[in-house]
Amino acid sequence: MYIIIGVLVAVAVGAIAFFLISKKKKAMSKDSEIESAAGEVAELAGDDLEEVEEVKEVETVAEVTEESSPDDIPPESERTDETITVSLESYIERLSAFKAQQMAALNAAMDDSNPKKREKLQAVVVSITRALTFPEQNLEREIQTRRDALAALKEMRDQEVLDSSEYDSAADGILTNSTEEAEQILDSVIKQNIPLSALASFHSASLAQCRMDFSRAMPRFDKAVELEKDNTDYLRSSGLLARRLYQHKKSLSRFMTLEKLLAEQKEDNLELALARRELAYSAALFGKNKEAGIYYKKSMGSIARLAGKDSPDMGICWFQIGELQESLGKYEQAEEPYKTALAIMDKAGDESVQADILDKLARLHVELEAEPEAIILFERLAGIMVKAPQPDQAGLIIVYNNLAEAYRICGKYDDSENYYKKALTLTQELRGPEHAAVASIYQELAKLAERQRKPEMVQQYSKQAAVIFDLILKAQEAEGESEDVLTL
């Protein structure tokens, strides 16, 4: 078993595609693979699934309130001439401070009986961690979101919905600092129930989402959809954030509506193809694999024609197919889609997606007892992760431990020891020198030293582990005695 050390909050990714690929089909062309999808999915999903059209939105649209608790695809809008002076350093500093705050809240919520609260905090922490791993991409997206919001505020000023002082206050924050004041000013427009209220709600939500304030962003995206039901940007953004927050029924409803609106235009364009991919993704997350297969087939056929079989959008489709196969326990069938996705993304050079695929494929090779292949992939993943200005230490600990175990299985004990020691150093930094996770690594080093025939090191590592476990046990006993006193 692979040791998982440290605290890493992971987003649960469920079934998100439909395809069944066997090794006998490696010679098939990409076209015939896509064409075979609808028939293959029946084997995966069975014939007793409900129709997608029966899914109805049951969650009420949350009222827009003044609460204050803490990117995907901003809409097309005119560019502005103002310079947004948000530096990469200040962006990283802001997110790092917010992550520390949210991690503390998440740790406190672990004993909470409210699972939805934990899920929301997990979604925020994972999103911040990802943003800090690839900060340049995320800052670029945030700057574009700020530009779009500023253009919307100008429109409101020009139509005399906002006066000049309100616009100046909002613009100052957007250009240089926090966007919270701009969000409050946009909220005042929402409450007026005028034609521009939907636009105000959308941009207030988008700015809040950039700050990772999902509890503020979600009801405002919902409000924008309520006020303007046929706006594709509003539907897409609402659906994406709902899915990130594990609200899969809402996400499915949003993408069903989006796909229907775009399909009615009777144009086979990339926007429609991508909407169908998102619909397929959400349908499978909601447990409707058969319907997901239908929409994936349509989406992949269009993407192949419009963008090419090796386009990044096609790579994401193959990645999702691999995830579905793996979630269904079909590990051998998941391998080829993952490899196809990785080959495409290697050409595209998108390290954020590459990292996801490398992680999944490496773990899959471990499951298939193909450690030499897993080592190559884990090494690549670690190389991407350590380049980040704020590396995800918890994630790196997991990768280093996986590498240590894989090298041990391959009989490469020196390499194994090297990675166990890297994991040990990071774990001590992240969790403290007397944490149980540190003791667990000492135990693994002791076992490894025994294989290396280093009796002195076996004794040393075993003693270090025992000391830590003894301290933990005494602390637990003292805590128990204290609780007993309090209950008397």
pLDDT for position 115: 82
pLDDT for position 463: 96
Residue-wise pLDDT tens digits, 305-316 = 999 999 999 999
- 382-488: CATH superfamily: Tetratricopeptide repeat domain (1.25.40.10)
How far is Cα 280 from Cα 318, in angstroms, rounded to an integer?
A: 13
Question: Are the C-beta atoms of 123 and 209 separated by less than 8 Å?
Answer: no
Q: Would the pLDDT of 198 be above 50?
A: yes
pLDDT, averaged across the chain = 84
| Residues whose CB is less than 8 angstroms from the CB of residue 409 and which lie 6 or more positions away in sequence, other chains included | 371
Q: Would the pLDDT of 416 be above 60?
A: yes
Higher pLDDT: 361 or 5? It is 361
- 1-59+248-368: CATH superfamily: Tetratricopeptide repeat domain (1.25.40.10)
- 272-288 mean pLDDT: 93
pLDDT for position 116: 82
How far is Cα 87 from Cα 56, in angstroms, rounded to an integer?
A: 43
* 97-111, 164-178, 247-261, 409-423: least confident range: 97-111
pLDDT for position 118: 86
Residue 297 has which token pair? 């087939």
- One-letter-per-residue 3-state SS of the chain: CCCCCCCCCCCCCCCCCCCCCCHHHCCCCHHHHHHCHHHHHHHHHCCCCCCHHHCCCCCCCCCCCCCCCCCCCCCCCCCCCCCCCCCHHHHHHHHHHHHHHHHHHHHHHCCCCCHHHHHHHHHHHHHHHHHHHCHHHHHHHHHHHHHHHHHHHHHHHHCCCCCHHHHHHHHHHHHHCCCHHHHHHHHHHHCCCCCCHHHHHHHHHHHHHHCCCHHHHHHHHHHHHHHCCCCHHHHHHHHHHHHHCCCHHHHHHHHHHHHHHHHCCCCCCHHHHHHHHHHHHHHHHCCCHHHHHHHHHHHHHHHHHHCCCCCHHHHHHHHHHHHHHHHCCCHHHHHHHHHHHHHHHHHHCCHHHHHHHHHHHHHHHHHCCCHHHHHHHHHHHHHHHHCCCCCCHHHHHHHHHHHHHHHHHCCCHHHHHHHHHHHHHHHHHHHCCCCHHHHHHHHHHHHHHHHCCCHHHHHHHHHHHHHHHHHHHHHHHHHHHHHHHHHC
Position 113 confidence tier, pLDDT thresholds 50, 70, 90: confident
pLDDT for position 108: 84
Residue with tokens 């086979």: 268
Question: CATH 1.25.40.10 occupies which residues in the chain?
Answer: 1-59+248-368, 382-488
pLDDT for position 13: 33
* 61-70, 218-227, 273-282, 366-375: least confident range: 61-70
Cα-trace Rg, the chain = 25
How far is Cα 250 from Cα 433, in angstroms, rounded to an integer?
A: 44
Residue 267: CB atoms within 10 A of its CB come to 9
Position 481 confidence tier, pLDDT thresholds 50, 70, 90: low
Position 33 confidence tier, pLDDT thresholds 50, 70, 90: low
Q: Would the pLDDT of 23 be above 80?
A: no
Position 3 confidence tier, pLDDT thresholds 50, 70, 90: very low
Q: How many residues would you count in the chain?
A: 488
